[in-house]
Amino acid sequence: MPKFPTEEWASEYVEKLNSNPAYKDAGKNWEGDITFVIKSDDSFDKDAFLYLDLHHGECRGSKFTVDSSEIPQSEFKYIGKYTNWIRLINKEIDPIQGILTGKFKLEGSMMKIMKFTKAAKEMVSTASTVNTE
Amino acid sequence: MWFFRSPEIVFGEDALSFLNGLDFRKIVIITDENIKKSGLASMVQRSLPEGSSSLVVSDIPEEPTLADIKKRLNAVSEFAPDLIIGLGGGSSMDAAKAIFAIYERPDLDIYDITPLVKLNLRSKAKLILVPTTSGTGSECTWAAVLSDEDHSRKNELASTEIIADFAILDPALVLRLPPGITRNTAVDAITHAVEARSSQWRNYYSDIFAEKAMELITQNLPIVIKDPENIRAREEVHIGASMAGIAFSNSQVGLAHAMGHSLGAHFRIPHGITVALYLPQVVEFSEPDARESYLSLMNKMPEKFRKGNLADSLRAFFSEIGQPLNVKDCGIDRKEYSGRLESLVALAEESTGCVTNPREASSSELRELFENVM
């Protein structure tokens, strides 16, 4: 059972995302990469990054690292503290409400991402299906 | 964590006189030609503080675009108001919100009006919204809808900073609203109430406002349709519509709005007609995940319309007031509608209403919902 956030978790997540027909459908018109930024807090001692290259309902590539210099520049960044990420994965926080309440920050065009809220929600739903320790 | 947001609300007979006691000197009224012609803009001007000067911008078109907003900004900026009043239906009030924001911050791109950007408004002016229809609820919300230049898409700008400082609900302003507009706007408010009460983001505050809105509107709208100058019934529908606005502004709308916006962008028919057209279908589809919400709402309707479930109760109510329940009755050619199904689905899927609806719909389910009103 992988821990969040680790390389093992990231690869299982990408696998599940690519086999989720609901995400494939919701993200069919999406083009753009996104980095999940997991900020350290009392429960997690270093920042971590998961880069996802998303294209037409498919994740074409990914990279997990704890070194920010290794992360490619992405169109979007979704940033939150570790504890809030855990709550998001457990579906205790809605990804859009997370932004509106300041628990998460989005860097990138809000107008663009608001047209793909269904895809964003499917990405979170997929995360909650990863058997996380 | 979540919030409850609302402007300060002045309501009831003579509410417009509230303006007279305010301390503003230069006032811009944003409205449309019909409101000006009907004398309502003059009525507001007569209520302004003594000694103040005013400028009436009275050419806001239906479903304004960004270019429409920009075109009117110069006149507003040159006048340098300390108060902007949006007077009218959703188009004028949404235009007033956008003009207010850009007048304050000319450096802003209009699409920066999102919850992510701190706008720092209100250094130059305050915003008051005065509805002349009972439906959109825009006077109470923190969103403004602007269409693309070719009207192929409606863009929702949203920021808590564009919520009005005051909303003024005076029934005198809706007393002579034509029957068609009375119905089309009120069914929009009913749709707000139903979708707010069942939204995935619903909360205790939005629930209360949605239920009371449903009660006020469905109990009084049939009276208003038969007796348009019944001011008590008009006032209750007017207040109900603003309560529905508060409800959805604090919880979000759902699939009927996602579908209605898409239909409106394709066929340019009044917003209320488009959302109410789909509402019974959406309620039927969402019933398994919203039973309790729908039961509460149905029980707020007059007894004679209650048909065992909310979808059928809404159909009975809409039939009574003459609200169309299929595309043909909306004046849309079925063949043309059918030919645009794919595009209707695609545009609806871009709306947040798809993820806040109590039951999420796949593309094929959404297509079926569109087909069901043919």
The confidence score (pLDDT) of residue A110 equals 81
Mean pLDDT, to the nearest integer, of B87-116?
Answer: 93
Which parts of B90-222 are beta strand (E)?
A: 126-131, 143-147, 154-158, 166-169
Residue B85 has pLDDT above 90, yes or no: yes
Give percent above pLDDT 70 in chain B: 100
Which residue on chain B is closest to A122 by alpha carbon? Answer: B355
pLDDT score recorded for residue A76: 95
Return the percentage of chain A with pLDDT > 70, whole number. 100
Instruction: Among A26, A110, A117, select the one facing B114 at the smallest CB separation.
Output: A110
What's the rounded mean pLDDT across residues B13-30? 97
Q: How far is A123 from chain B (nearest CA, A)?
A: 13
- A29 and chain B: CB distance < 8 Å anywhere? yes
Interface test with A, best of B3, B116, B366 (most A CBs within 10 A): B116
Read off the pLDDT band of B9 (50, 70, 90): very high
Mean pLDDT of B270-288: 97
Split at pLDDT 50, 70, 90, the class of B110 is: confident
B338 vs chain A: nearest CA distance in angstroms?
21
Position with higher pLDDT, B335 vs A114: B335
% of chain A beyond a pLDDT of 90 = 80
Closest CA to B127 of B169, B89, B164, B160: B164
User: Where are chain A's structural domains?
Assistant: 7-123
Candidates B111, B114, B363; nearest CB to A25: B363
A25 at interface of B, judged by CB pairs closer than 8 A: yes
Inform me whether the pLDDT recorded for A33 exceeds 80.
Answer: yes
Residue A117 C-alpha, separation from nearest chain B C-alpha, in angstroms: 6
Look at residue A133 and tell me whether its pLDDT is greater than 90: no
The chain-wide mean pLDDT, for chain B, equals: 96
- Is the domain spanning A7-123 CATH 3.30.1050.10? The answer is yes
- Among A100, A106, A121, beta carbon nearest to B355: A121
What average pLDDT does the segment B107-126 reach? 90
Rounded to the nearest 10°, the torsion over CA A16, A22, A24, A27 is -120
- Structure confidence at residue B37 (pLDDT): 96
Q: Which residues on chain A are in Cβ contact (under 8 Å) with B116?
A: 99, 105-106, 110
Q: Do B114 and A111 touch (CB under 8 A)?
A: yes
pLDDT at B111: 82
Above 90 in pLDDT, residue B52? yes
CB contact under 8 Å between A100 and B115, yes or no, is yes
What pLDDT is attached to residue A131? Answer: 85
Please state the rounded mean pLDDT for residues A71-91.
Answer: 95
pLDDT given for residue A44 in this prediction: 94
- Residue range B220-244: average pLDDT? 97
pLDDT at residue A111, as a whole number: 79
Pick B111's closest partner by Cβ from A111, A115, A118.
A111
- In the structure, what pLDDT confidence band is assigned to residue A1 with cuts at 50, 70 and 90? confident
Write out chain B residues lying below 8 Å of A114, CB-based. Answer: 114, 156, 352
CA closest to B3 among chain A residues: A101
What pTM, to 2 d.p., does this model score? 0.93
pLDDT mean over B147-171? 90
Q: Is the pLDDT of residue B106 over 90?
A: yes
pLDDT score for B355 = 92
Once rounded to an integer, what is the mean pLDDT over residues B277-282? Answer: 98
Q: Give whole-number Cα distances, B32 to A31, B62, B84, B89, in Å.
A: 40, 8, 14, 9
Within 8 A of B342 by CB-CB distance, chain A residues are: none
Confidence of residue A49 (pLDDT cuts 50, 70, 90): very high
pLDDT at B298 over 80: yes
Minimal CA separation from B51 to chain A, in Å: 42
Taking CB atoms and an 8 Å limit, are B1 and A25 in contact across chains? no
Which string of b and e fits B227-264 if b means at least 16 CB within 10 Å? ebebbebbbbbbbbbbbbbbbbbbbbbbbbbbbbbbbb
A79 and B CB contact within 8 Å: no
Residue A112, pLDDT > 90, answer: no
Q: Which domains does chain B have, with CATH numbers?
A: 8-173 (3.40.50.1970), 179-371 (1.20.1090.10)
pLDDT at B116 (0 to 100): 80
Q: Which of the residues B3, B110, B114 would you substitute to probe the A interface, choosing the one with the greatest number of A C-beta atoms within 10 Å? A: B114
The pLDDT value given to residue B140: 98
